[in-house]
Amino acid sequence: MQKKIDLKLLLKLTIPIFLELIFQMLLGSVDKVMVRNDFSANAINQASTILDMLTISMSVLASGSLILISQYKGAKDKESENKIYSIAFFFNVTLGLILGIILVIFAPNIFKMLSVSEDYFEESVLYLRINGGFLILQAAILSLTSFLRSNGHVVYSLVTSIIFNIINVALNALFLYGFKISGAQGVAIGSVIARFIGVIILFVLVKKLIKIKFGFKGNFVSSLKELKKLLRISLPSVGESLSYSVSQVVILSFINIIGLKLCFAAPTARTYTTIMIQFSYVFANSVAQGMQILLGQYLGANEKEKANEIVKKTLLLSIVVSLAISSLQAIFAKYIFSFFTKDEQVISLCQQIMCIEIFLEFGRAINGAMVRALQTSGDVLFPTILAIIFCWIVAVGGGYLFGIVFKFGIAGIWIAMAIDEICRGVIFIIRWKKGKWKTYNLTYSNKNNI
């Protein structure tokens, strides 16, 4: 009976998170589609790669707070739980502010290092400066959303995502077609305003539903200990996420080189496939986030059998759904990408990528579930170190070897990334089965041994 209850609870958390992530992805994808030309879409894609890299890093910090909040709930430690809200929020928005300033100043230098084509260089810089300059808004959204999720209020964050996606589309249309602000600049302004409205809505919801009083009243030493615990959980994961994201930036530079030397259509194919690929792994990401909430509570209450059962269910569900979605996308790739472009070479490349993507998503579904399970249990360093090693040797090194040296082009890069994901996934499953995670307890100790 308990197994059925676990699955129902998991799906109850997963479905709203899934829908919310879909709408979050649409925020960036809509920008690419609404500009209605390949050059502006490429500019947005180049800038989005940088923004996604930093957003992933900040989301890991937010995820760290979700882990601690969930475990404190399981342990019924209300005092420690309350401290985490303020600590996590102010740390994340401060980081967002600092990163935003860096992006505004160094945007041109970043794109020069990436060998971005002169055709859309200026637009890339402009989009990154506008959206990146207000990265603090994304930091606030990530923190506030994690607070709602950890308290079971997943539907409210979903509704907020729907609202500011509608606002984003309306504002994009206003700036592009009403004020005639062309290309990437118009949609960037619309996205920033939409996020600002989203932050206001989320802040009001958090204050009302969770009744958080943001501030640092009370024992400073105790708050400092909670910050250290949050960073001990988050920073290794941030390192792994940042390493992965930087590797994707390097891989993007490989694709840009392929576009200049081997196949002009490669960067454009990458731009449009990334839109669809997001929908392949979004469910796996959602179910893994839902699992984190339940797993944290089970571990906080020292219910190890329930914890193991929810991880196994999450893993199976992630694999089945990810394979189904990526397979359908591969089958209908020609029709899907004909909607984005009429260039036959681009469409052909997209078809190749989506076939390889089936194998990549299989590995990514495993990694998404198992890495979050290990992190939630407190086993943080092992997945971090392994991910960094494999990412750079297999995905980046293999991508350069297959894509540029052997001249397989963008398909070679995708093959290398698929091998990386599958190999890591197998190792993480073995790690979990060995049971090292059972020796950790974040609410009482701070072990972080490999």
**Residue 316 belongs to some domain of the structure:** yes
pLDDT level of residue 221 (50, 70, 90 thresholds):
low
**What would the pLDDT profile of 240-291 be if each residue is shown by its tens digit?**
777 887 888 888 889 888 887 777 788 888 888 887 887 778 888 889 988 9
Q: Looking at residue 420, what is its pLDDT?
A: 95
**Span 389-413, pLDDT tens digits:** 999 999 999 999 999 999 898 999 9
397 contacts 412 by C-beta, under 8 angstroms: no
Query: Tokens 């607070």 identify what position?
Result: 147
- Return the C-alpha torsion angle 252, 257, 260, 263, nearest 10: -70
Query: What φ, ψ does residue 261 adopt, rounded to 5°?
Result: -110, -30
Q: In this model, does residue 447 exceed pLDDT 60? A: no
Could you give the CA distance from residue 261 to residue 334 in angstroms, rounded to a whole number? 25
pLDDT in tens, 356-377: 999 999 999 999 999 989 988 8
pTM confidence score: 0.74
CA distances from 380 to 73, 179, 287, 448 (A): 21, 49, 20, 7
Average pLDDT on 45-72 reads: 77
Determine whether 152 is exposed, middle or buried from the number of CB atoms within 10 Å of its CB (0-12, 13-18, 19+).
Answer: middle
Residue 349 in contact with residue 274, Cβ under 8 Å?
no
φ, ψ for residue 441, nearest 5 deg: -155, 105
Domain presence at residue 119:
yes
CA distances, 86 to each of 89, 106, 175, 276, 354 (Å): 5, 30, 36, 36, 42
Residue 198 near residue 236, CB atoms below 8 Å: no
Among 370, 213, 225, which Cα is nearest to 284's?
370
Q: Which range of residues forms the domain containing residue 369?
A: 2-439
Helix spans in 114-214 (H): 121-133, 135-150, 154-173, 183-209
| Two tokens, residue 339 | 């909607």
Does residue 142 lie in a domain region?
yes
Amino acid 186: pLDDT: 81
The pLDDT score that the predictor gives to residue 1 is 42
Residue 102 lies in a domain: yes
Instruction: Determine, yes or no, domain membership for 167.
Output: yes
Q: Are 194 and 168 in contact (CB under 8 A)?
A: yes
* b/e 121-133 (16+ beta carbons within 10 angstroms → b): bbbbbbbbbbbbb
Tell me the average pLDDT of the chain: 83
Q: In this structure, is residue 445 part of a structural domain?
A: no
| % of the chain residues with pLDDT over 70 | 92
Residue whose C-alpha is closest to residue 314's, from 55, 1, 14, 85:
14
Q: Which amino acid is at 71?
A: Q
Which amino acid does the sequence have at 212? Answer: I
Mean pLDDT score, 307-322: 92
- Output the six-digit token pair for 124: 């890339």
Q: Is residue 444 part of a domain?
A: no
How many separate domains does the chain show? Answer: 1
In whole angstroms, give the CA distance from residue 177 to residue 113: 33
Q: Report pLDDT for 389.
A: 93
pLDDT at 216: 55
Residue whose token pair is 């070897």? 401
Tokens standing for 19? Answer: 């829908």
**pLDDT computed for residue 367 by the predictor:** 93
Cα–chain center distance at 265: 26
Report residue 449's pLDDT band, with 50, 70 and 90 as the boundaries: very low
Which tokens hold the place of 52? Answer: 């996604």
Is 450 a domain residue?
no
Q: Is the dihedral of CA 242, 262, 343, 349 positive or negative?
A: negative
CB neighbours of 292 closer than 8 A, spacing ≥ 6? 63, 66, 67, 70, 372, 373, 376
The confidence band for 322, taking pLDDT boundaries of 50, 70 and 90, is: very high
Cα distances (angstroms) measured from residue 18 to each of 15, 162, 235, 243, 403: 5, 12, 26, 25, 33
Other CB atoms within 10 Å distance of the CB of residue 323: 17
Residue 104 CB burial class (10 angstroms; 0-12, 13-18, ≥19): middle
Q: Are 156 and 102 in contact (CB under 8 A)?
A: no
Instruction: Tell me if 123 sits within 8 A of 93, measured CB to CB.
Output: no
Given a cut of 80, whether residue 99 has pLDDT beyond it is yes
Q: Are 275 and 420 in contact (CB under 8 A)?
A: no
Q: Within 10 Å of residue 235's Cβ, how many Cβ atoms?
A: 16
